[in-house]
């Protein structure tokens, strides 16, 4: 028992010696409860615990900001148009270089310090989020004035599609800002629950944690998070990607067999 206590004490001292210089240098230490999120057919979302340590400061003016960013993806959006009382899909636009997931979490409820910080750091602002909208080629115009008018119309259309895209992603829980969501535990420790909604695209996500002191970025740490397919859906997806022709043939064959079986059952009844 005494040897065990001596071993534990020695290990604690060694860990403190190793961690202390690193903590003093980085000023923020962060970890996740898990780094892997399996997505199966019945995936209904996930919750992860992010915890860490950072100096609060004598005046208590150290703030924590967390940015969770998913892999870049491409989307296609259609504008709804009403024709003779019926809704139909109208203009279609392609959106590229948009993150699959983008969430900002802060340790304060006031937006003053965050707005001032994001004004200098565009990477934290939804207004400057990299969302590229590809517009239709402009029509031929005879006069320069008409060309300028078409350019303004194109820019307005791009902004409208961009705003609609951000709004739809926010409704799905894929984009958002959660102020006052980081819980302080004492002077140095903090924790926060990261909620991942259902329908989350797979890929590598980056969880970045920033320490902000007096409105300036003091320290940062990035942690990867892997969202991957698991179970039968992973096998079917890999099979379809690798053997697309065989997958299509099997799908048609299964549909035909299902139709034959259903026909026999209804004929007997």
pTM of the predicted structure, to 2 decimals: 0.69
Residue 244: CB partners within 8 Å, gap ≥ 6?
A: none
pLDDT in tens, 208-254: 998 887 777 788 889 999 988 776 655 565 656 676 777 677 777 88
pLDDT of residue 49: 92
- Cite the DSSP H helix spans in the chain: 2-26, 112-120, 144-171, 232-242, 244-268
Does residue 123 sit in helix, strand or coil?
Answer: helix
Q: Report the candidate in 110, 240, 247 with the shortest Cα–Cα distance to residue 179.
A: 110
pLDDT of residue 2: 38
Distance (Å, whole) CA 45 – CA 51:
20
pLDDT in tens, 162-205: 888 888 888 888 998 888 888 888 778 889 999 888 888 888 99
pLDDT of residue 11: 42
pLDDT band for position 50 (cuts 50, 70, 90): very high
pLDDT of residue 235: 57
pLDDT in tens, 86-101: 777 777 888 888 888 9
pLDDT of residue 110: 59
pLDDT in tens, 8-46: 333 433 333 334 344 334 578 888 998 888 887 777 888
Does residue 184 sit in helix, strand or coil?
Answer: strand
pLDDT in tens, 137-165: 666 666 777 777 878 888 888 888 888 88
């Amino acid at each position: 028992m005494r040897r065990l206590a001596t071993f534990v004490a020695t290990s604690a001292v060694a860990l403190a010696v190793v961690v202390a210089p690193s903590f003093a240098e980085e000023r923020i230490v962060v970890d996740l409860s898990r780094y892997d999120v399996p997505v199966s057919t019945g995936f209904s979302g996930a919750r992860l615990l992010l915890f860490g340590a950072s100096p609060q400061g004598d005046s208590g003016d150290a703030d924590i900001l967390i940015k969770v960013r998913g892999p870049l993806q491409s989307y296609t959006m259609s504008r709804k148009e009403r024709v003779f009382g019926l809704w139909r899909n109208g203009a279609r636009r392609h959106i590229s270089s948009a993150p699959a997931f983008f969430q900002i979490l802060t340790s304060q409820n006031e937006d003053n310090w965050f707005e001032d910080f994001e004004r200098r750091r565009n990477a934290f602002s939804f207004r400057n989020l990299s969302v590229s909208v590809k517009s239709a080629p402009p029509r031929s115009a005879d006069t320069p004035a008409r060309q300028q008018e078409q350019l303004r119309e194109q820019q307005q259309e791009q902004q409208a599609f961009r705003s609609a895209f951000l709004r739809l992603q926010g409704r799905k829980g894929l984009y958002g800002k959660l102020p006052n969501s980081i819980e302080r535990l004492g002077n140095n420790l903090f924790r926060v629950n990261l909620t991942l909604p259902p329908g989350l695209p797979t890929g590598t996500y980056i969880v970045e944690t920033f320490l902000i002191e007096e409105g300036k970025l003091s320290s940062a740490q990035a942690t990867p998070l892997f969202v991957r397919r698991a179970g039968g859906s992973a096998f079917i997806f890999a099979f379809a990607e690798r053997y697309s022709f065989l997958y299509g043939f099997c799908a048609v064959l299964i549909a035909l067999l299902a139709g034959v079986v259903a026909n026999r059952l209804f004929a007997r009844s």
